[in-house]
């Protein structure tokens, strides 16, 4: 065996606190340059997960201490049964929606507030936006994406939601600059954002960079991702054989190998990319 052989570290799940549910693998109205999803040319793919699969997963995980269910995609709000799935998940615990904001306007925010009020749990929004400059943002996301998110922030703030902005630092800007600029933008939309409302993630890790870095705060340490095809370590590796953990929650693996460029990003970030640190909000 040569000295250049790469031995990927193994991660053991510590607690099952986060259940990610991929509502659709490929259906999204945007095509962001840095998105980890390999999109087909056709935007109208109907690959939605069934409610029965979700009910089954909730039942099989009933003894796990799940603090939050995360509805992910591609764009989860394109699911035709989105409202029913949201209500179903809210019966169990808090629900976080990962969205590009397209489907959130004032009317929708008012409706979602009513749905939340009917439950004893909370709805949290993670909104994707990547730069404080409209042109730079729309250059890597989509024309109009910037204004869509600003409108979503304004609408959610009006109904007392506390959204989190998810920034992929595509342009490698200084963290302080991003924090200040995004706080100013939020203020103009009537939302008083704190540091905890703004998450900044770096990209461009390489698998070969995973060497002796300390492994801490990875999404795969605290949860698993359900897709229409089975159980995976995290949303990054959803439907990827390298992240496969099993077909059902009645029997799934709590160990995984950190061997992808996504893992390298996670290890460098030293905080979960998808999961919420609720302690920051108390
Ligand atoms: S991409 Fe991140 S969360 Fe997913 S398996 Fe790798 S280290 Fe874990």
**What is the 3 state secondary structure string of 183-219?**
HHHHHHCCCCCCHHHEEEECCCCCHHHCCCCCCCCCH
Query: Which pLDDT score, from 0 to 100, does residue 203 have?
Result: 77
Q: What is the mean pLDDT of residues 150-172?
A: 97
Q: What is the mean pLDDT of residues 232-254?
A: 97
Q: From 135, 133, 147, select the one nearest 182 (Cα to Cα).
A: 133
Q: How does strand 10-12 pair with strand 94-99?
A: unpaired
Task: Give the C-alpha separation, 190 to 182, whole Å.
Answer: 13
**Quick one: fold of 10-281?**
TIM Barrel (3.20.20)
Q: How far is the CA of 265 from the centre of ligand 1 (A)?
A: 8
Q: What is the mean pLDDT of residues 224-228?
A: 98
Q: Is 123 in the pocket of ligand 1 (CB under 6 A)?
A: no
pLDDT category at 26 given cuts 50, 70, 90 is: very high
Rounded (5°) CA angle 184-166-130: 70
Task: Give the C-alpha separation, 180 to 126, whole Å.
Answer: 18
Query: Which pLDDT score, from 0 to 100, does residue 90 have?
Result: 98
pLDDT category at 183 given cuts 50, 70, 90 is: very high
CA-proximal residue: ligand 1, atom 8 (nearest):
220
Task: Give the C-alpha separation, 258 to 242, whole Å.
Answer: 9
Q: Please state, rounded to an integer, the average pLDDT across all residues of the chain.
A: 93
* pTM to 2 decimal places: 0.94
For residue range 187-206, list pLDDT tens digits in order.
999 999 999 999 998 877 77
Q: Is the pLDDT of residue 2 over 70?
A: no
- Lowest-pLDDT range, 66-75, 152-161, 181-190, 259-268? 259-268
Instruction: Identify the top-confidence range among 37-51, 114-128, 254-268.
Output: 114-128
Q: Is 238 in the pocket of ligand 1 (CB under 6 A)?
A: no
CA-proximal residue: ligand 1, atom 2 (nearest):
263
Q: How far is the CA of 32 from the centre of ligand 1 (A)?
A: 21
């Amino acid at each position: 065996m040569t000295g250049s052989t790469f031995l990927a570290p193994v991660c053991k799940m510590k607690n099952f606190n986060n259940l990610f549910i991929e509502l659709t693998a490929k259906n999204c109205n945007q095509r962001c340059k840095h998105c980890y999803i390999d999109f087909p040319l056709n935007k109208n793919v109907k690959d939605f997960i069934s409610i029965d699969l979700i009910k089954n997963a909730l039942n099989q995980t009933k003894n796990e201490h799940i603090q939050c269910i995360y509805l992910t995609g591609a764009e989860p709000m394109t699911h035709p049964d989105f409202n029913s799935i949201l209500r179903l998940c809210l019966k169990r615990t808090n629900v976080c929606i990962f969205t590009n904001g397209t489907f959130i306007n004032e009317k929708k925010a008012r409706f979602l507030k009513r749905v939340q009020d009917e439950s004893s749990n909370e709805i949290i929004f993670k909104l994707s936006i990547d730069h404080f400059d409209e042109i730079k943002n729309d250059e890597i996301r989509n024309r109009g994406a910037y204004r869509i998110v600003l409108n979503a922030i304004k609408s959610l703030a009006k109904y007392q939601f506390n959204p989190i902005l998810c920034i992929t630092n595509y342009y490698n800007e200084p963290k302080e600059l991003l924090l200040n600029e995004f706080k100013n933008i939020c203020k103009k939309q009537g939302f008083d954002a704190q540091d905890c409302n703004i998450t900044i993630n770096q990209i461009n890790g390489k698998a070969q960079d995973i060497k002796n870095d300390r492994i801490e705060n990875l999404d795969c340490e605290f949860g698993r991702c359900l897709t229409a095809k089975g159980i995976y370590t995290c949303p990054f590796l959803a439907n990827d054989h390298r992240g496969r953990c099993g077909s059902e929650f009645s029997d799934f693996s709590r160990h995984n190998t950190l061997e992808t460029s996504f893992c390298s990003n996670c290890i460098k970030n030293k905080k979960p990319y998808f999961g919420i640190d609720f302690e920051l909000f108390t």
